[in-house]
Amino acid sequence: MAGNSFGALFRFTSWGESHGPAIGCVVDGVPPRLALTEADIQPYLDQRRPGQSRYTTQRREPDQVEILSGTFEGQTTGTPVSLLIRNTDQRSKDYGDIKDKFRPGHADFTYQAKYGIRDYRGGGRSSARETAVRVAAGAVARKVLGSGITIRGALVEMGGIAVDRDAWDWAECGRNDFFCPDAGAAARWADYLDGLRKTGDSCGAIIEVVAEGVPVGLGDPLYDKLDADLAKAMMSINAVKAVEIGDGFETARLTGSQNADEMRMASGRPSFLGNRAGGILGGIANGEPVVVRFAVKPTSSILTPRLSVTRDGEDTEVVTKGRHDPCVGIRAVPVGEAMMAVVLADHLLRHRGQCGG
């Protein structure tokens, strides 16, 4: 209710601040007898981990996950899985200068206004550091989904430069610093970011996440539609300002005859000749790949001075020092994948509960 949990049957509750001793979450509702050890979770955390290229924050966090409960002899027991990640590289002194100034575009101001108090060190609870927890929960969710469902994400646009969809190669995502499926775009982004970093500025990005193998029937009408839950999940990620399913905003510019994905029988089952719907009709998965895209705004912590006010109500200017991602969108790729996994795992259990099977 206070906003730190996600999901209904598969549900995780997140806690922790950027500069506290640790962050973590409790994942409840994990079915029993799934193989689960730290080794199932760590690779996803490693993908998101900061400090791996010159394009992400230079904060060094090993992000080693510990499972504190919910497994026995390498298997889940049906009881809550508590995950813990220690914070090791918090240079709190870097952040002292923003103790009393609100960064424009940042949650500093709204947290202060809502709660009358805030942990200003590194953004406290509103720090993107919290997304490590989402990635850990997502890794558990993937175990629930099993090997039949594949979830992959990619950065598809940065600084106004989009990938060439004809050049799309999922394998390429693992070869560059951007989770970019198009080697050409990755090269252009590298140049663009190098330029930005010199000016101390930042940029936004668009991420696409695709789930294949999603069973027909997942999702609940009307208010817990699969796409509604995905929209909430993605919009809840730090700095996200927009979400679309399938062809999204583009569908508003089409006619009904252009937009509707026609159907034919194929291999003995109904299938679709297109996927403008992004795999979801009426809030329920139709068997095609589930496709979500979301926009990440530019990092608001930048070196360029911006007009602001102090906590005491004085006009001021603010410059954010410290170590920040020039494009938080890059590390949002594994986060988006994780949230897709969590939403699907939750709906898988919900569907099984109400409809069996």
What residues between 247 and 266 interact with a second copy by CB under 8 A? 247-249, 251-265
Candidate ranges 39-47, 101-109, 163-171, 172-180; the one touching a second copy (CB under 8 A): 101-109
* The residue to which tokens 């926009």 are assigned: 295
Binding residues among 281-310 for a second copy as defined by CB under 8 A: 281-287, 295-302, 304, 306-309
Token pair for residue 99? Answer: 């103790």
5 annotated binding-site participant:
no
Residue 13 interacts with a second copy (CB under 8 A): yes or no: yes
Whole-angstrom distance, CA of residue 7 vs CA of residue 168: 32
Nearer to a second copy, 171 or 198 (CB): 198
Residue 70 interacts with a second copy (CB under 8 A): yes or no: yes
Nearer to a second copy, 43 or 282 (CB): 282
Query: How many residues interact with a second copy (rule CB under 8 A)?
Result: 156
Residues 6+ apart with CB under 8 A from 249: none
Residue 35 interacts with a second copy (CB under 8 A): yes or no: no
Residues 6+ apart with CB under 8 A from 270: 263, 264, 287
Q: Give the amino acid at 232.
A: K
Closest CA to 19 of 95, 104, 83: 95
- CA-CA-CA-CA dihedral for 329, 331, 275, 349, to nearest 10: -130
How far from the centroid of its chain's Cα atoms is residue 222's Cα?
Answer: 24
Binding residues among 164-193 for a second copy as defined by CB under 8 A: none
Nearer to a second copy, 45 or 196 (CB): 196
Residue 32 interacts with a second copy (CB under 8 A): yes or no: yes
Judge contact between 43 and 65, C-beta under 8 A. no
Candidate ranges 49-57, 92-100, 145-153, 203-211; the one touching a second copy (CB under 8 A): 203-211
Residue 334 interacts with a second copy (CB under 8 A): yes or no: no
Token pair for residue 16? Answer: 């922790």
Binding residues among 132-151 for a second copy as defined by CB under 8 A: none
Closest CA to 32 of 290, 349, 260, 355: 349
Binding residues for FMN: 125-127, 238-239, 282, 297-301, 323
